[in-house]
Amino acid sequence: MTVADSLIVDIVELRRRTGTRRDVEITLMLDDMAVRDRFVVDGRLDVALTVEAITEGVAAHGVVNCTTRAPCRRCLDEVDGPMRLDFHEIFESEPTDGETWPIKDERIDLTPVIREIALLSLPLAPLCGDDCVGPEPERFPTGVYEEAQPVKDDRWAALEGLSFDE
């Protein structure tokens, strides 16, 4: 398995005939694969994709596998989980903003594509387990308030002083 910090595919051969395909398998190690406290562990993304010459340019479709880490929404402990993403993108010489990606110098750069797909899919509010009860009592005491005495209402305190035996 190839390991790299970018995924750029030369498409000169590919574009000689529409319908030509090429499979690529690679492990990407990218920096800054994080959105605040949610991130891709080690910035590692295992990618398997097929690039294909189409009339408009080049189609790239495949799957990305990685491990994500984010704080549990109840206890804030870090939770690891597998993430699998399918993608299907089009590359064109004159790309449509927000819809297709550029072909530059007869090459396509899938690095920003995969980065964006993964960052947008990071789990928002994972749970460390269905039985998570929330914060650790020692670190974030929540029971204190339940044991507190009920607050006395001053209006009743005045009545307590009254005697009806006179």
The position carrying tokens 């190690």 is: 29
Least distance between Zn ion and beta carbon 121 (Å)? 21
Q: Is 102 or 134 the residue whose CB approaches Zn ion more closely?
A: 134
Other residues' Cβ atoms within 10 Å of the Cβ of residue 59: 16
| Residue (71 or 95) nearer to Zn ion, CB | 71
CB of 77 to Zn ion, least distance (A): 5
For the CB of residue 132, give the shortest distance to Zn ion in the complex, in Å.
Answer: 3
Chain residues that interact with Zn ion, rule: CB under 5 A: 72, 74-75, 128, 132
Residue number with CB closer to Zn ion (53 or 75): 75
φ/ψ bin of 83: left (φ > 0), alpha (ψ from -120 to 50), beta (otherwise): beta
Strands (DSSP E) along 15-151, which ranges? 21-29, 34-35, 38-40, 44-53, 58-71, 78-92, 101-102, 107-109
